Amino acid sequence: MADRASIRKQSLPRFEDAEELGPQDAQFVQDLVSVLEKHGNLDRFGLCLLHEHFPLAAGEVMVESCDPRARTLRTQVEKADRTGHVKASQWRFLAGVDPSRAAEFEGGPYRVIMLCTPLTGCPAEE
Protein backbone atom coordinates (compact mmCIF):
# COMPACT_ATOMS: atom_id res chain seq x y z
CA MET A 1 0.00 0.00 0.00
CA ALA A 2 1.48 3.36 -1.02
CA ASP A 3 1.56 6.39 1.22
CA ARG A 4 1.71 10.10 0.58
CA ALA A 5 5.49 10.03 0.31
CA SER A 6 5.19 7.78 -2.73
CA ILE A 7 3.33 10.51 -4.62
CA ARG A 8 5.83 12.75 -6.38
CA LYS A 9 5.53 16.22 -4.86
CA GLN A 10 5.08 18.78 -7.55
CA SER A 11 6.67 22.09 -6.75
CA LEU A 12 4.42 25.10 -6.61
CA PRO A 13 5.26 28.44 -8.19
CA ARG A 14 6.27 31.35 -6.03
CA PHE A 15 3.35 33.72 -5.44
CA GLU A 16 4.92 36.33 -7.71
CA ASP A 17 5.05 33.81 -10.57
CA ALA A 18 1.67 32.12 -10.09
CA GLU A 19 -0.85 32.94 -12.80
CA GLU A 20 -4.08 34.28 -11.35
CA LEU A 21 -7.56 33.51 -12.61
CA GLY A 22 -8.46 35.39 -15.77
CA PRO A 23 -10.92 35.58 -18.67
CA GLN A 24 -9.23 32.59 -20.33
CA ASP A 25 -10.44 30.47 -17.40
CA ALA A 26 -14.17 31.17 -17.86
CA GLN A 27 -15.05 27.66 -19.13
CA PHE A 28 -12.87 26.01 -16.49
CA VAL A 29 -14.63 27.95 -13.72
CA GLN A 30 -18.07 27.19 -15.17
CA ASP A 31 -17.19 23.48 -15.22
CA LEU A 32 -16.15 23.69 -11.54
CA VAL A 33 -19.35 25.52 -10.65
CA SER A 34 -21.38 22.81 -12.39
CA VAL A 35 -19.63 20.02 -10.48
CA LEU A 36 -20.02 21.86 -7.15
CA GLU A 37 -23.71 22.47 -7.83
CA LYS A 38 -24.24 18.84 -8.85
CA HIS A 39 -22.89 17.67 -5.48
CA GLY A 40 -24.52 20.42 -3.39
CA ASN A 41 -21.17 22.01 -2.53
CA LEU A 42 -21.35 25.43 -4.17
CA ASP A 43 -21.56 27.21 -0.80
CA ARG A 44 -19.05 24.85 0.82
CA PHE A 45 -15.95 25.00 -1.39
CA GLY A 46 -14.26 27.63 -3.53
CA LEU A 47 -10.99 28.06 -5.36
CA CYS A 48 -7.59 29.32 -4.24
CA LEU A 49 -4.35 30.06 -6.08
CA LEU A 50 -1.81 27.37 -5.20
CA HIS A 51 1.60 28.90 -4.56
CA GLU A 52 4.38 28.95 -2.01
CA HIS A 53 6.34 31.66 -0.30
CA PHE A 54 8.86 29.20 1.16
CA PRO A 55 9.24 25.41 1.22
CA LEU A 56 7.86 23.25 4.02
CA ALA A 57 9.94 20.43 5.45
CA ALA A 58 8.56 16.93 5.89
CA GLY A 59 6.22 16.87 8.88
CA GLU A 60 5.42 20.59 8.70
CA VAL A 61 2.04 22.13 7.95
CA MET A 62 0.71 25.65 7.51
CA VAL A 63 -1.78 26.71 10.17
CA GLU A 64 -4.01 29.75 10.45
CA SER A 65 -5.16 31.60 13.53
CA CYS A 66 -7.97 34.13 13.52
CA ASP A 67 -8.61 37.05 15.84
CA PRO A 68 -12.17 38.14 15.02
CA ARG A 69 -12.01 41.19 17.31
CA ALA A 70 -8.93 42.57 15.55
CA ARG A 71 -10.15 41.19 12.20
CA THR A 72 -6.79 39.56 11.48
CA LEU A 73 -5.73 36.20 10.13
CA ARG A 74 -2.22 34.90 10.83
CA THR A 75 -0.53 32.01 9.05
CA GLN A 76 2.53 30.18 10.35
CA VAL A 77 4.37 26.86 10.08
CA GLU A 78 3.97 24.23 12.80
CA LYS A 79 5.01 20.61 13.23
CA ALA A 80 2.08 18.50 12.05
CA ASP A 81 2.35 16.07 14.97
CA ARG A 82 2.38 18.86 17.58
CA THR A 83 -0.11 21.40 16.30
CA GLY A 84 -3.30 22.15 18.19
CA HIS A 85 -4.99 23.09 14.94
CA VAL A 86 -7.39 20.35 14.03
CA LYS A 87 -9.71 21.35 11.19
CA ALA A 88 -8.50 21.29 7.60
CA SER A 89 -9.42 24.41 5.64
CA GLN A 90 -7.45 24.00 2.41
CA TRP A 91 -6.53 20.95 0.33
CA ARG A 92 -4.41 20.24 -2.71
CA PHE A 93 -5.52 17.66 -5.26
CA LEU A 94 -3.08 14.84 -6.04
CA ALA A 95 -2.69 13.93 -9.69
CA GLY A 96 -2.72 10.30 -10.70
CA VAL A 97 -4.51 8.94 -7.63
CA ASP A 98 -7.47 6.79 -8.50
CA PRO A 99 -10.47 7.51 -6.19
CA SER A 100 -10.66 3.77 -5.42
CA ARG A 101 -7.40 4.23 -3.48
CA ALA A 102 -8.95 6.87 -1.18
CA ALA A 103 -8.20 4.91 1.99
CA GLU A 104 -4.48 5.29 1.31
CA PHE A 105 -4.80 9.08 1.31
CA GLU A 106 -6.89 9.78 4.41
CA GLY A 107 -10.18 9.87 2.57
CA GLY A 108 -9.42 11.05 -0.93
CA PRO A 109 -6.91 11.93 -3.62
CA TYR A 110 -5.86 15.14 -1.88
CA ARG A 111 -3.44 16.48 0.70
CA VAL A 112 -4.28 18.92 3.51
CA ILE A 113 -2.30 22.13 3.09
CA MET A 114 -3.85 24.35 5.79
CA LEU A 115 -5.29 23.69 9.25
CA CYS A 116 -7.17 25.80 11.79
CA THR A 117 -9.15 25.32 14.97
CA PRO A 118 -12.74 26.43 15.43
CA LEU A 119 -13.00 30.12 16.42
CA THR A 120 -13.27 29.17 20.07
CA GLY A 121 -9.64 28.06 19.86
CA CYS A 122 -8.27 30.68 17.46
CA PRO A 123 -6.15 32.42 18.37
CA ALA A 124 -4.47 30.26 20.96
CA GLU A 125 -4.57 31.91 24.36
CA GLU A 126 -1.17 33.17 25.38
Other Cβ atoms less than 10 A from the Cβ of 86: the count is: 11
pLDDT score for 6: 33
pLDDT score for 100: 67
Domain positions in the chain are 51-121
Q: 124: closest CA among 88, 84, 96?
A: 84
pLDDT tens by residue, 69-86: 889 888 999 998 888 877
Longest dimension (CA), the chain: 47
Among the listed ranges 18-27, 54-63, 69-78, 97-106, which one has the minimum average pLDDT value? 97-106
Residue 39: pLDDT above 60?
A: yes
- b/e sequence 43-66, b meaning 16+ C-beta within 10 Å: eeeeeeeeeeeeeeeeeebbbbbb
Torsions phi, psi for 5 (to 5 deg): -65, -25
pLDDT score for 112: 82
How many residues in the chain?
126
C-alpha 66/C-alpha 38 separation (Å) is 32
The pLDDT-based confidence of 118 (bands split at 50, 70, 90) is low
Which of residues 35 and 118 earns the better pLDDT score? 35
Residue 52: pLDDT above 50?
A: yes
Residue 115: pLDDT above 60?
A: yes
